[in-house]
Amino acid sequence: MRKIDVKYSLCLMVILLSILSNKADIHKTSESTPIQAVTKSQKNELNIKFKKDFFIIKKDIVKYQFEIDKTVSESNKIIKYYSEKDLYLLSQVIYSEAGSDWISDEIQLMVGSVVLNRVNSPYFPDNIYDVIHQKGQYQFILQDIDVVPNQRAIDNAKQLLDNQNDLICPSNILFQSESAMGDGIYKKYETKYATLYFCYKD
């Protein structure tokens, strides 16, 4: 963000120098011509020139501001590429934690979002494999179960990985469990046999 501020400041400096330069040209023209010799027509011409130059500079300000806003927006995006292994691992988590037919797609997306939020959090490892293999985190890892996800889990995992800048929950939702944990509850879902809590860290 600091680099963007410097660029913005430099743009404003250039624009202000342009305005001052235009004013100096007008004053120079006025000073080089005796006051009594400056006709109304000449004054009008000078005013038209100044207004025209000012309009061009104003357009430049809008253009620079648009470019800066675009740069800021793009710099805030998380750009992540994923492998087939990442897709399969995330699908396994979703299916093992929320794979029952009576559990909604929304809950499956929440489960997967927690994993991706952890990947992007300084409190957890920076990749899916290490996140799900952390000690005491996911039952199918602890019990060494070879989970084979169904197509729905794979589709929901792919949806999340393809849209990592627009996850279903905020980035501080880092916990998913059958009991409340972390610093507070973001959402809870009553399912057929259990209550699922999605919690945040301040």
How many domains does the chain fold into? 2
Whether residues 102 and 173 fall in one domain = yes
Q: Report how far residue 114's alpha carbon sits from residue 169's, in angstroms, rounded to the nearest whole number.
A: 8
When pLDDT is cut at 50, 70 and 90, the band that residue 57 belongs to is low
pLDDT at residue 116, as a whole number: 96
Model confidence pLDDT, tens digit, residues 112-151? 999 999 999 999 999 999 999 999 899 898 888 899 999 9
Whether the model pTM is above 0.85: no
Mark out the alpha helices in 33-176 (DSSP H runs): 40-75, 84-98, 105-119, 128-132, 139-142, 151-162
What is the CATH classification number for the domain harbouring 183? 1.10.10.2520
Domain boundary among 15, 42, 75: 75
Is the domain of 101 the same as that of 189? yes
User: Same domain for 68 and 113?
Assistant: no
Q: Where among 32, 54, 75 does a domain terminate? A: 75
- Picking from 22, 56, 75, the residue at the C-terminal end of a domain is 75
Average the pLDDT over 80-90 and give the result.
91
Number of CB atoms found within 10 A of residue 114's CB: 23
Question: Are residues 88 and 31 part of one domain?
Answer: no
CB 53 within 8 A of CB 88: no
Cα–Cα distance between 150 and 88 in angstroms, integer? 10
Q: Domain limits at 6?
A: 2-75
Same domain, yes or no: 111 and 138? yes
Same domain for 99 and 68? no
Structure tokens at 53: 């130059």
The 10 Å Cβ neighbour count of residue 131 is 22
Residue 9 above 60 pLDDT? no
The reply to whether 190 and 136 lie within a common domain is yes
Measured in whole angstroms, the distance separating CA 95 from the mean position of its chain's CA atoms is: 28
For residues 80 and 173, which has the higher predicted lDDT (pLDDT)? 173
**Residue 112 shares a structural domain with residue 93:** yes
